Structure 1
């Protein structure tokens, strides 16, 4: 008989908060919750955003003062609402009103004079341009005389037309929860998400591992963009252009397979199947399908399925923006016939829109075959009989889909 893959746990983090036990969903439908569920949701978000901490069984705010659970909404409610869901991109990502860039400039000597400056010999370009005359000075300095125009790049800023995104809750710092060792944000979120999902099952992970053969556990995960912040590919590609050095970690940690490897190495200790496949719009579904196929074939009995994207960087935002894929300020103003943009209403996937809204998050589902789930007494959240992902056929342009 073919095994039925069942979902026994879910976890993760996105702009709405924590995934396990429907906490993120509760934030989305907050106004429809009863008083008890609403209070629990504010408590969960306040804790996640480091607005309150639980110390020796007592809730305390950042100043160390005790606070009752029933008072959290009154004290922090507006701050929690403003710091979750889609909102203006916060400066811990980058400044959308003054995004750094290198502006080109051509310098021409005035009144037919030469361009003259002094610098350290070690700072001269290699090779020295033929139009440069270099004169030795004291203290390893040189005087440079240029008889032609000089092209330079200088630090500048630009007003980014795309200003909103679905960001992780303000104040949430996954790096503070373990020894992150300067790891990219996406991989930090992966560790949180995988731990959240596994613990949501209510089963000790060692008990799960002891119930199956080592090669019957699999991890199926990817991030289509990879890790593109400074600690990953972003820093790797920009380093030399900015006069910095490439670190020993940036290449390895930038790979889109790293979410799979991090779950194995930091959370599960998996020595079984490792699988990574990615797609522009369906990375989670591709990995889910591989897990379902392996469970149905009997190759895998426990599967950790994940997808991670934390790519709110100037380069990724500009890339999508130049494809006319992201909703920008001018487009939103035209839609609303207004001079003011409501960043909360940037995402309108089923109505009149001018593009989608980029977001970040890490999501993990724990799957088992039905026999193992019953044997362990797991709480079954649902089943996955099959996964259907299809291509789009012939189209005129990949970069500008209709």
Structure 2
């Protein structure tokens, strides 16, 4: 049986590049880095981050939002509202039982956890919020989207570390292919810029130490990269079967054609240096799309700006795809938003396909000689993109790859 084509009909983005797709397109395609000193992290060994500018929960979500939502939920609600509007959908008229929600999140409400723990230690248990648990558990991001938009179909959160958002989108595809839903709100959300989380990454040696020049700290594939910059954000995609989208006159931004996943089974935090797991995920995604390696025009790389990850990913891509596809990493602009990264990058990949334009990798001044790829740097590149791959990899050896087509 022929499987239905899955269309991206709506996009919503909230990142360090701005609130909304328009703001993100402008900053990401200009290659303007967003990392800066963060007052919330003052006094820590690493005090730089990529946070959403000008985000006001009362204005963007609702006046009582701060009483009931952790920041990761607030970001997702904002991105989802934009995505639904972009898709031309009205939640008041849809059949909620046929609308699913699948969101990726790696951490959950860490800010709530930290804040309420301080309350417990400093002022006693009677001052801890009664909403502590529903504000911090990761599944509440999907729950709140369902509540806000009346989506009563399948509802769950995927947690595959920094691959979470991509895993969610792959899972959403299956719901549509299997006719369990007609519409799925999918993507990722994370708000992990907290003192404890940043300290944890710093203790691992995963973060850039370029504190004297924060804007230049995140530099994927550059020979002088020394770690990533923690970011936050949300990327939400509205997915539908293409035939349904066409029937209602919706604009199709791109198609999600394939998904593949695998496990390295190698190490808690380091990628398998052979790239075997990532290779399996890419091969599976292309097979799922009915495509071959020679069909790939562009890769939105995981590209974290860490010494080990970038070389491992680059070697895998060179071995699998050669140097023909253009390659970029948006983490030079928006940092690494952890569980939301795969979803944000999926949205950017859909825009790349739609616009026939590849955004540059920020801060790439000197390509690491071990990275033998056509990495787009300095300025955006006009390029027809018929087939694009978006890579996402995470701690625990999690690998997830999505294929987008025009």
| Structure-1-length-normalised TM-score | 0.62
Separation of aligned partners in 2, 1:172 and 1:181: 12
1:174 pairs with 2:57:
yes
Separation of aligned partners in 2, 1:358 and 1:181: 23
**Quick one: which of 41, 45, 50 aligns to 1:161?**
45
* Alignment correspondent of 1:317: 198
* Alignment correspondent of 1:72: none
1:3 pairs with 2:4:
yes
**Quick one: which of 263, 273, 280 aligns to 1:391?**
263
Q: How many residues align?
A: 265
* Alignment correspondent of 1:239: 119
CA contact under 8 A between 2:7 and 2:254: conserved in structure 1? yes
* Alignment correspondent of 1:357: 229
> C-alpha offsets along residues 180-223 of structure 1, whole Å, 9 cap, x if unaligned?
1423222221211110111112333334x15xxx4321000132
Pairing of 1:235-384 with structure 2 (within 5 A): 235-244=115-124, 245-266=127-148, 268-328=149-209, 332=210, 341-351=212-222, 352-384=224-256
1:87 pairs with 2:36:
yes
CA change 1:224–1:387 in 2 (3 A) is same
1:29 pairs with 2:29:
yes
Separation of aligned partners in 1, 2:116 and 2:259: 36
CA contact under 8 A between 1:323 and 1:400: conserved in structure 2? no
> C-alpha offsets along residues 107-154 of structure 1, whole Å, 9 cap, x if unaligned?
xxxxxxxxxxxxxxxxxxxxxxxxxxxxxxxxxxxxxxxxxxxxxxxx
Structure 2 residues not aligned, in runs of 5+: 272-307, 309-406
Separation of aligned partners in 2, 1:293 and 1:327: 37
Structure 1 residues not aligned, in runs of 5+: 32-80, 97-158, 334-340
Matched position secondary structure for 1:10: strand
Residue 175 of structure 1, CA deviation? 2.7
Separation of aligned partners in 2, 1:174 and 1:195: 13
> C-alpha offsets along residues 328-360 of structure 1, whole Å, 9 cap, x if unaligned?
2xxx37xxxxxxx21101101211221111001
CA contact under 8 A between 2:6 and 2:255: conserved in structure 1? yes
Separation of aligned partners in 2, 1:373 and 1:233: 41
The range that moved more, 179-188 or 362-371, is: 179-188
> C-alpha offsets along residues 30-83 of structure 1, whole Å, 9 cap, x if unaligned?
48xxxxxxxxxxxxxxxxxxxxxxxxxxxxxxxxxxxxxxxxxxxxxxxxx8xx
Matched position secondary structure for 2:171: helix
CA contact under 8 A between 2:191 and 2:232: conserved in structure 1? yes
Separation of aligned partners in 1, 2:58 and 2:24: 20
Matched position secondary structure for 1:378: coil
Separation of aligned partners in 2, 1:269 and 1:16: 29
CA contact under 8 A between 2:104 and 2:167: conserved in structure 1? no
CA contact under 8 A between 1:168 and 1:360: conserved in structure 2? yes
Matched position secondary structure for 1:349: coil
Separation of aligned partners in 2, 1:187 and 1:18: 15
> C-alpha offsets along residues 284-327 of structure 1, whole Å, 9 cap, x if unaligned?
11111111011111111100002111111110000111011111
Separation of aligned partners in 1, 2:270 and 2:167: 23
> C-alpha offsets along residues 81-115 of structure 1, whole Å, 9 cap, x if unaligned?
8xx822221x3xx151xxxxxxxxxxxxxxxxxxx
Residue 399 of structure 1, CA deviation? 4.1
Matched position secondary structure for 1:386: strand
Matched position secondary structure for 1:276: strand
Residue 278 of structure 1, CA deviation? 0.8
Separation of aligned partners in 2, 1:239 and 1:302: 41
